[in-house]
Copies of this chain bind each other. A is one copy, B any other.
Amino acid sequence: MDAKIAKRVMPIGSLSDRTGVKVETIRYYEQVGLLPQPERSEGNQRRYGRVHVERLAFIKHARDLGFPVDGIRTLLRLSDNPGMACDEAHAISVAHLDEVRHKIARLRSLEKELERIAATCSGGVAACDCAIIEALADHSQCRHERH
Contacts and interface: CB of A to CB of B under 8 A. Distances in A.
Contacts of A133: 75, 78-79, 82, 85, 89
A139 B59 CA distance: 11
Nearest to A138: B61
Interface stretch (A6-14, A29-37, A38-46, A119-127): A119-127
A23 interface: no
A92 B90 CA distance: 41
A122 B138 CA distance: 47
B97 A139 contact: no
24 contacts: A57-B137, A61-B137, A61-B139, A61-B142, A65-B114, A65-B117, A65-B144, A66-B107, A75-B132, A78-B130, A82-B129, A82-B133, A86-B123, A86-B128, A86-B131, A87-B123, A90-B121, A91-B123, A93-B117, A97-B111, A100-B114, A103-B103, A104-B104, A104-B111
Given A87-B123, A89-B121, A90-B118, 14 more contacts: A54-B137, A58-B137, A61-B136, A64-B144, A64-B146, A82-B129, A82-B133, A90-B121, A90-B132, A93-B114, A97-B118, A101-B111, A104-B108, A107-B107
